[in-house]
Amino acid sequence: MTFSSFSFDQRIVAGIKACGYETPTPIQRNAIPVVLEGHDVMGLAQTGTGKTAAFALPILQHLLKDSSPKGSPRVLVLAPTRELALQIQESFIALGKQTGIRSAVVIGGVGMNPQIKAFAQSRVIVACPGRLVRLINRGAIRLNTITTLVLDEADRMLDMGFLPDIKRILAQLPDKRQNLLFSATMPNDIKKLADGILVNPKRVQEANTVPVTSVGHAFYTTQTHLKNDILEKLLSKAEHESVLIFTRTKHKAKNLSRKLNKDGYDSTFLQGNMSQSQRQRALNGFRQGQFNIMVATDIAARGIDCDRISHVINYDMPDTVETYTHRIGRTGRAGRSGQAVSFVTRDDKMQIRAIERVMRIKIENNTYEGRGR
């Protein structure tokens, strides 16, 4: 199957070719036809499966047939973080380059007035819920012309406490619209949200805990105070292109990155207290190879899209199996192989067993007891 199977407008086909897309991913094969048909969609897929194009391409096709006055926003995409919002907008721009369809991003950390102006001139709005609600409360924007709503990474938006903002936004939207909800997991609160938004939805599911065959898994059983030693040993021996390291706290991400820089590595960090310009500088530097190591927290790392990541290191173990799959989904992409390494303390043993059971894999176990032992 190729993208020609969907009979996209030639201007969209040009965007697909320019992006280097050849064969649709499973989520794209299954989601694009039902979105094109106008159905509401409940999509389950983990990071790195191509779900942005799965909704962006059919949305662009619909917009080319839309005869409403230019300047009235028709599509609203909600995303949990600034990085992901910017990434989604970049996809709309790249895929729709030949269409003339304008998009705007509405995120915190930058001035409101340029966003208000761009909002009024764009067909696609990609927004973080918090900033969008602020603009609504100021009376600066209206959502009465929206015909398509996309909730991307809905589980993370709820984890971050955006449900009240989402409800305020929903209250401003027309009742008649197409709704697309994408999530990596399906806890009860997401089921409840979906039931309240989606009308007779088509369910499109890619197993979110099936092991990625291109990623190898290993963990090191050790003590907390020895994690830096293991990290230094791994970085000095492993052949790595780009390394993404996850920590549990913002403070630890910042301090670990600074320590790595002192040790001679080109490292940057990503955490929630950074300004938008700081975050974008760090992301661009990592994607372009200026930094070959990035240390990040889970929330800050949403939206990192870099095919060059060869290793994901769980300096601190995640709280859930779903978060583990999110993290390791950053490597082994675009036909490359990757390695996921986890530093495990005694408190993490139950989590490792859960990962092995749910993902149906056996993780290589190594024990590290310190230098010279």
> How confident is the model at residue 313, as a pLDDT?
95
Nearest-CA neighbor of 155 among 84, 86, 61? 84
Give CA–CA dist 94/29, Å, rounded.
20
Q: What angle do CA 195, 197, 200 make, to 5 degrees?
A: 65
> How confident is the model at residue 334, as a pLDDT?
59
Contact 230, 222 (CB under 8 A): yes
Give CA–CA dist 51/96, Å, rounded.
16
Average pLDDT of each block of 10 consecutive residues along the chain (373 residues)?
A: 90 91 88 96 80 95 89 93 88 94 92 93 96 95 96 88 95 96 85 94 72 75 92 85 91 94 93 80 89 86 73 89 78 75 88 80 76 52
Give me the domains of the chain, ranges plus CATH numbers. 3-205 (3.40.50.300), 215-367 (3.40.50.300)
